[in-house]
Amino acid sequence: MSIEPSPPKPEIEALLAENRTFPPSAAFAAQANAKKDLYDEAEKDFEAFWARVARERVDWAEPFTTTLEWDLPFAKWFGGGKLNMSYNCVDRHVERGLGSKVAYHWIGEPGDTRTITYADLHREVQKAANALTELGIRTGDRVAIYMPMIPELPIAMLACARLGAPHTVVFGGFSAEALAGRINDAEAKLVITADGGWRKGKPAELKPAVDTALAETPSVRHVLVVRRLGDRAPACVMAEGRDVWWHDIVERQAPECPPVPVDSEHMLYLLYTSGTTAKPKVIIHTTAGYLVGTSLTHEMIFDVKPDDVYWCAADVGWVTGHSYIVYGPLANATTGVMYEGTPDTPGWDRWWQIVEDFKVTILYCAPTAIRAFMKQGEALPAKHDLSSLRVLGSVGEPINPEAWLWYHENIGRGNAPIVDTWWQTETGMILITPLPGVTATKPGSATFPFPGIAADVVDGDGASVPLGGGGYLVLNRPWPAMLRGIYGDPARYRETYWSRFPGMYFAGDGAKRDAEGYYWLLGRVDDVMNVSGHRISTIEVESALVDHKAVAEAAVVGKNDPLTGQAIFAFAILRAGREPSEQLGRELREHVAQVIGPIARPKFLLFTPDLPKTRSGKIMRRLLRDIAEGRTLGDTTTLADASVVEAIREHSGSAEEE
Ligand code: PRX
């Protein structure tokens, strides 16, 4: 993995000068789920701590006999145990009399709503599981899920989990090509999708992308299709013998399907995330440890109580949705909100309307969303009754103090604690976070490792950096919801996460600790961009650009962006005979959107005659970042031909912004 020093970040110094602290109120602390002794207990013996949590929080079909088997970097948690995830998320709550409790208040973008109780979920998950069985799915078979934010999405995931069939959810914004790659990697037998969903006031069809993808996916036998758009999806064509409507096959199933007990380490799901190569990594998560980690963090960090209305506004297609819309909250029998559409439809106060209508008490979202709301002004949230909100969360990217304070004042009305939660697709659960009621927060800091988690900030040699200094964020000890590897590639798993600093998990993030030990996340230190809280690899976008016939070579860097955290800035060298033009710029952006998905569409595109390279031929991204930011150029002494930079600089004024 290439690790270049991070570019100088003056804003980080400003961040660290941020010394306002927000201690928890006595009233909040008195009623909080998490108390300080959670840290003490976990520190005394972290394995005993997790074992206690696992015994208390999980309904085991067979109890576990070992807590942790750690053969670095391969962990096995709760060995000997058997359980079923969907039983723990649904059945046991119904058995304990919570059948009429709402699991999800679902809100469609056009304004239609559905209320799904735990009893509804119990029935629908079993019917869906029976339908999957009829379609040939057995324990261990992989199922790809490509859906909008509709209730059938968590139902489909739970139906898979009921049978022990690992799912791989592909975010609905990804392209047909990306979907095909993911289906093939997982060798999925079944794709669960919908005719489409509503987005920004319009129907957005999904099935045609599945059809395109399926031209290249020999493993798929059937496609199960939820009807969401009906007549509004004219391009939804059902292939005879292959495609089945959800309402045709699921509705007629018996509402009983016994949960299949699986081993603790049985694979629950696969999820893709961008790494430092063109090919995304397929992260493996397993059952028991993931359930333990997500349910404990959910209850403690969001201070969830039985009558809370909890809304995680992420998409289920990302890990945040897996852990904190589906598995963690359902394991805790929480009432959740699930919203299909975008925050600006029909107006920029859609979220505040939902908070008011459903009396949402806990809101969890990304800084990009908060900054977008800031741009719309205070008047919109002020129009709504947000007094129900009592805890606010942030995830996915560093939150700048200004956005933190805006969130605190305008959404939390000055008295809801903010939990800035650091974690990753790989970590499965939140790892660095305040505990509301315990931790005094500082705007912009994710504060401290969760109980039982051992983090550190190390220098390039892996030596711990004293408080006050910065370096690389590492984790020193296994945790229950950690990834179990990269699917089909144990060598890459070891190499990517465990080789940079032997014995430590290298997260790929830079971090500083202040004099009081607070962690301040500084962004990625590898070739990964973070656009609106979504990870995109520079190399992935570069290969999508080079895949276009007009492009000879491309380089991509992240440019600081006031709204999305980072924006994609692409440099493209054209093949001989091709001329730069606005039209070609549009075509290239569209091409990237087609290969990866619209989220990867470059915001800036610069046609350039050459790229700065080291004498060994490596593109010097650091210089490109300087150019993208309009900064004074850093050291160019290792550059093969210094005039290249000047040539690009001359052009850079003309970088076209979309
Ligand atoms: O750089 C960190 C950033 O998001 C990366 C993980 O991305 P992903 O796997 O897509 O998961 C996102 C949702 C968990 C991290 O390596 N990141 C995530 N949360 C924070 C953050 N950076 C700063 N502060 C956070 N709270």
pLDDT tens column, 535-594: 898 888 998 999 999 998 899 999 999 999 999 999 999 999 999 999 999 999 999 999
Residue 94 φ/ψ, nearest 5 degrees? -65, -45
* Helices 152-163, 118-134: inter-axial angle, 10-degree rounding: 60
Cis peptide before 73 (omega within 30 of 0): yes
> Does 535 sit in the ligand 1 pocket, CB within 6 Å?
yes
Integer CA distances (angstroms), 539 to 101, 286, 446, in order: 46, 29, 29
Q: Does the structure show a pLDDT above 70 at 386?
A: yes
Q: Which two tokens stand for residue 47?
A: 């394995």
pLDDT digits (tens, 9 = 90+) for 478-516: 999 999 999 999 999 999 999 999 999 999 999 999 999
Q: Quick one: which atom of ligand 1 is closest to the CA of 528? A: 1
Neighbours of 427 (CB within 10 A): 22
Instruction: Give the pLDDT score at 343.
Output: 96
Q: 407: alpha, beta or left, given left = phi > 0 and alpha = psi -120 to 50? A: alpha
pTM: 0.92
Integer CA distances (angstroms), 393 to 235, 298, 417, in order: 39, 11, 8
Pinpoint the alpha helices (H) of 322-431.
328-331, 350-358, 367-376, 379-382, 401-406
Give residue 621's pLDDT band: very low, low, confident or very high (50, 70, 90). Answer: confident
> Does 424 sit in the ligand 1 pocket, CB within 6 Å?
yes
Q: Which two tokens stand for residue 37?
A: 């002794």
Q: Does the structure show a pLDDT above 70 at 613?
A: yes
> Does 397 sit in the ligand 1 pocket, CB within 6 Å?
yes
Measured CA to CA, the distance from residue 144 to residue 146 in angstroms comes to 7
**If you take atom 24 of ligand 1, which residue's CA is the nearest one?**
398
> Does 543 sit in the ligand 1 pocket, CB within 6 Å?
no
Q: Are 533 and 367 in contact (CB under 8 A)?
A: yes
Measured CA to CA, the distance from residue 429 to residue 646 in angstroms comes to 46
| For the chain, percent of residues with pLDDT exceeding 90 | 84
> Does 104 sit in the ligand 1 pocket, CB within 6 Å?
no
Q: Which two tokens stand for residue 244?
A: 């089945």
If one residue of 512, 535, 599 were mutated to test the ligand 1 pocket, choosing by the most ligand atoms within 8 A of its CB, it would be 535
Whole-number Å distance, alpha carbon 520 to ligand 1 midpoint, is 12
pLDDT digits (tens, 9 = 90+) for 169-193: 999 999 999 999 999 999 999 999 9
Q: Which two tokens stand for residue 214?
A: 């399926």
Instruction: Give the pLDDT score at 657.
Output: 73
> Does 280 sit in the ligand 1 pocket, CB within 6 Å?
no
User: How many separate helices (H) and strands (E) can be counted in the chain?
Assistant: 23, 31
> Does 396 sit in the ligand 1 pocket, CB within 6 Å?
yes
Instruction: Give the pLDDT score at 617.
Output: 74
Q: Quick one: which atom of ligand 1 is closest to the CA of 399? A: 24
Of the candidates 620, 616, 624, 628, the one whose C-alpha atom is nearest the C-alpha of residue 653 is: 628
If one residue of 174, 315, 397, 497 were mutated to test the ligand 1 pocket, choosing by the most ligand atoms within 8 A of its CB, it would be 397
Of the candidates 27, 35, 25, 15, the one whose C-alpha atom is nearest the C-alpha of residue 435 is: 35
Scored b (16 or more CB within 10 A) or e, 145-168 reads: bbbbbbbbbbbbbbbbbbbbbbbb
Please report the domains of the chain, with CATH numbers, ordered by start residue.
1-84+285-525 (3.40.50.12780), 117-260 (3.40.50.980), 532-657 (3.30.300.30)
